[in-house]
Structure 1
């Protein structure tokens, strides 16, 4: 029973591994694009599960103790709180971590090149238009892809 709590490395190894993996996965998710974060498909969910499995050994270093798991979980929670705190207090920090909104359409004109670059299908864009109460492209004043993956549309009334 005592083996459940016996760690194979010093406590700070687990904290350091947690920080490194958190930053790595956050960076990878940030690079993957806004649409991946905002609109989960079954493939996105599979990807998240596989990423979790892929980084597991990097985080625990082969340690299966409850103490190590507790330290890593605590580290991940603290990292998440630090990111939330920094995002709430600094626009620049939030832009680095989350990204900035991307202009998809303006003054009744859709930027199809930006749609492709942001991995937004025209069908998804048209669905977002309807969801925002806009039935005609010419009524769009401004449409942006927000860092959380939502498409926001301001219309000309």
Structure 2
């Protein structure tokens, strides 16, 4: 029984562990928010952040500098608490959601590539064409709108116009300049 108490005894203290968890959550959240979203895939940024931080906090509690499971539990609870709070605040306060989550970016409009959208997200024409091909698009004329969504996924709204009237998505040449 003494060994069990020793395992859960706090080594660093609850306040310190909450401050550490809060600091790491916000530092990583800010870094991920400004670093872009192309590689996020289908996980939302906050989801990925929570998974990484929870795994790291739990790992440190089991084998890192802290041998206390109690310290790890406090850090994990702090991280999950921030995630829960931000999800709720973003739902009830839409302007806050616009600050916390990236907005979708239009990359193709009416069959024409929007260079400003590609530049904003650092996406090459080749990468855009690859994503369109993965969505089954053979020609830009098939695309009414294509977006890079907040999650990092590409979405395509097909045009009711004809198929194959515009440049092929098989073209790999980057425009010069």
Interval containing the TM-score (normalised by the shorter chain): 0.7 to 0.9
Query: Which one of 76, 80, 87 corresponds to residue 77 of structure 1?
Result: 80
Gaps of 5+ in 2: 161-177
Query: Which one of 47, 52, 71 corresponds to residue 68 of structure 1?
Result: 71
Hey, what does 1:151 align to over in structure 2? 154
What is the CA-CA distance between 1:3 and the residue it aligns to? 2.8
Q: How many residues align?
A: 144
The answer to which structure has the higher helix fraction is 1
What is the CA-CA distance between 1:67 and the residue it aligns to? 0.9
On the 8 A contact 1:7/1:63 being kept in 2, the answer is: no
Following the alignment from structure 1 to structure 2, what is the Cα–Cα distance between the partners of residues 115 and 95? 20
Hey, what does 2:164 align to over in structure 1? none
User: For each residue in 1:86-112, what CA deviation from the matched residue of structure 2 results, as whole angstroms up to 9, or x when unmatched?
Assistant: 222232222222211111111211134
1:33-72 correspondence to structure 2 within 5 Å: 33-38=36-41, 62-72=65-75
Gaps of 5+ in 1: none
On the 8 A contact 1:145/1:151 being kept in 2, the answer is: yes
| TM-score normalised per structure 2 | 0.67
Q: Structure 1 residue 19 and structure 2 residue 22: aligned? A: yes
SS at 2:107 equivalent:
strand
Following the alignment from structure 2 to structure 1, what is the Cα–Cα distance between the partners of residues 88 and 14? 25
Hey, what does 2:13 align to over in structure 1? 10
For the pair shown, which has the larger CA radius of gyration, 1 or 2?
Answer: 2
Answer 1 or 2: higher relative contact order, Cα 8 Å, separation at least 6. 1
Moved over 6 A (4+): none
